[in-house]
Chains A and B, each alone.
Chain A
Amino acid sequence: MSAATVFGLCSAAAAGLGLYGLIVNPEPLRKIIAFNLLGSGIFIIFGVVARRGAAAALGADPVPQALVITGMVVAFSATALAVALVLRLFQGAGSTTLDADAPASAGTDPTDA
């Protein structure tokens, strides 16, 4: 089994785990971690595609590599925005539940007009 095949299977499994975690874990922070897992798994697929495209004395096709670097930065900024939202939600509502019908415990509401 070549590296591409092994890591291709690994990435699909990681993506599946990320999907599972994103759906099942109720805490937003765990969802964010699962999303990062899903994202990194998918980036490995980029790597597999790049490795398969080795040619012209290059070990891997540079285009998917560049796409992944862009994607990683975007994923990090998404994580940062999501984490900031979670922290602010906790500050405002006292809990981080995403369940709209659950009663939120009273928390400080620091927003002023």
Chain B
Amino acid sequence: MPYPTPALDGVTTPGGFLVVLSVVVPVASVLLAFVAGGRQAERIALATMPLGLAIAIAIMVALQRTGAPLVYLLGGWVPPLGIALRADGLSAVMMAITAVVIGAVGVFARGDFRVPQGSVEARAPFAFWILLLAVWGALNMVFLGGDLFTLYVALELLTFSAVPLVCLDGRAETLQAALRYLLFALLGSVLYLVGAVLFYGSYGTLDIVLLSHEISAEPTTLVAAALMTVGLLAKTALFPLHLWLPPAHAGAPAAASAVLSGLVVKGSFFIVVRLWFDVMPGLPGLAAAQMLAALGAMAIIFGSVVALRQKRLKLLIAYSTLAQIGYLFLMFPVAFGAGSARLESDGALAGGLLQAISHATAKAAMFMSAGLIYAALGHDHIAGLSGIGRALPISVLAFALAGAALMGVPPSGAYLAKDLLLQAAVETEQWWWAVAIQAGGIFTGSYVLLVLAHALMPAHESVTLRVSVSRVAEATALVLALCSLLLGLVHWEAYLPVALDPLRNPLTFKALSTALWPVLGGGVLAILLGRWGLRPARVALGEAVVAIVGPARRVALVLGSMLECVDRMLRRWPAAGLSLLVLVILFGAAMLGGRL
């Protein structure tokens, strides 16, 4: 019996049942896999993946056909009393890419998480497949949830599924990383929750659409917004709240790292987007948005420089995730409509989401190839990667393509995203963010090129592989990397507010020159800051060049070690906790100040 509210979309749309299925299917398979256990858990998981992908595609088709969001009123109750699930263009693309990445990870992980012969059930496979399905269900709920408290429960489900994935191999460092992740993520969700209750206390509803119509710039609302935002930033590991991410993502098994870096951090990011763009577009003010992007820019600098200084490949990729997360937050100040004080859902939003999608696929492919290299060599020291290009060509190719996609080589999704963000920056006359966006690409290029240079260098003696690497796993990584490279070709207009004529000719001079910047600039940075063994440097560059580069490199290294020092300080628990409190106060002040 629906509650007779004058709700604005108080009706379940036809096709809305698909939305329910996208959550019910993963949840049901979690329950089935838990009971069946043993080998059945893997089979149930692998059977669910095509089904989930089909549902995601069906939602995209339905959206394209009707042109309006899909809505489902759970239990038939109309908000504010009941809960609604809504699938708009943003949800649809995120769900589709989640289904693709989870499917790829599922295929990739078959070799790693197999129940050994002779046992009925083993710990790691049982846990892995159930946690993977639970991550999927939680993410779908995050993308579809139309109620702030439902989003909170979905976030908690996501955290509880992600944390055990970190320490799946049982080593002490991963246990420590998992505990740190759990505690910091819980701090974040509790801050989010207090914001939600203040919203309810002010407006009597937790529904996103209803809130957007009732919200006004009261002091309580702004305090709540600041608390919620910082709580979500803690879960997304935006600088300086990133203490938990590098050890967690580097220590997890390769398949788990792919999911953690590619998808899990996007969940809380998506909620920040929903909060700022859908619930309170007129509220935060430009100052708070500039703060967000400033944190993002610092994340890019710190993450990339510390990535360049890493000795281990998985840690490099984890720090690169930090930098890419920062890149995502550059979209907020440039999303303000020219002259208006509101966040507009246009090109900048599309750019940010596209960047998130590209990063999801590319980072997953990177972690997969890193995992294959680690398994083959027995270590992942970057200095010891010489010759791997010849021994594992497909894995290195996957890494290269994924890195190229992240750098913004056309026609990747990142290229299109960068284009959209640059255009928005130009329109809103915030040239400094345009500089930051370009710099982001250059920084990305630097660590990708560093790894590729090491990998493609010929080794002294031929590389012996410890184990033979599964062809299927390599192919999966390659396919995912190709996906990320070709994402720019998809017709996004039906789902994202992409206004500009999408890039159709990737070979124009302008496009190629934009693509060249990250390569050239990145190469310079890699030479200046990366760790090179003495012999490769001499061999690669020649004596004269080394003489020129030497002093520049010394200066760069001094700066680099300063940044590393700051990063190490911020990764200690008290410092990170204090930064969290400082951020709450600063965001609160920025939002309140904008209103006075």
Contacts and interface: CB of A to CB of B under 8 A. Distances in A.
A77 interface: yes
A107 to B, nearest CB: 8
A38 B571 CA distance: 22
B433 to A, nearest CB: 32
B364 to A, nearest CB: 25
A82 B179 contact: yes
B170 A82 contact: no
A77 B175 CA distance: 18
B180 to A, nearest CB: 5
B495 interface: no
A82 B182 contact: yes
Contacts of B190: 35, 38-39, 42
Contact of B163 (A38, A42, A81, A97): A81
Interface in B538-582: 568, 571-574, 577-578, 581
Contacts of B180: 98
A85 B247 contact: no
B409 interface: no
A98 B573 contact: yes
Interface stretch (B194-202, B466-474, B526-534): B194-202
Given A23-B577, A31-B183, A85-B167, A93 B175 contact: yes
Interface in A67-89: 67, 70-71, 74, 77-78, 81-82, 85-86, 88-89
A61 B294 CA distance: 41
A30 to B, nearest CB: 11
Given A15-B194, A100-B176, A109-B172, A67 B156 contact: no
Contacts of B578: 23
A106 B173 CA distance: 13
A24 interface: yes
- State the majority secondary structure of interface residues on B: helix
B197 A86 contact: no
A19 B201 CA distance: 22
Interface size class of B (residues with CB under 8 A): 35 or more
Contact of A89 (B172, B197, B571): B172
Interface size class of A (residues with CB under 8 A): 35 or more
Contacts of B572: 99
Contacts of A98: 176, 179-180, 183, 573
B457 interface: no
B374 interface: no
A71 B171 CA distance: 31
A107 B175 CA distance: 14
B186 interface: yes
B153 A70 contact: yes
B176 A35 contact: no
B193 interface: yes
Interface string B3-22: 00000000000000000000
A86 B201 CA distance: 36
B187 interface: yes
B178 interface: yes
B34 interface: no
Contact of A78 (B152, B167, B186): B186
Given A39-B190, A45-B198, A85-B178, 14 more contacts: A26-B573, A28-B183, A49-B200, A70-B149, A74-B156, A78-B156, A78-B160, A85-B167, A85-B175, A86-B179, A88-B175, A92-B171, A93-B172, A100-B173
Contacts of B571: 100
27 contacts: A15-B194, A19-B581, A22-B183, A35-B183, A38-B190, A39-B190, A42-B194, A42-B197, A45-B198, A48-B201, A49-B197, A52-B201, A71-B152, A71-B193, A78-B160, A82-B182, A82-B183, A86-B179, A88-B175, A89-B179, A92-B170, A98-B176, A98-B180, A100-B176, A100-B571, A111-B170, A111-B171
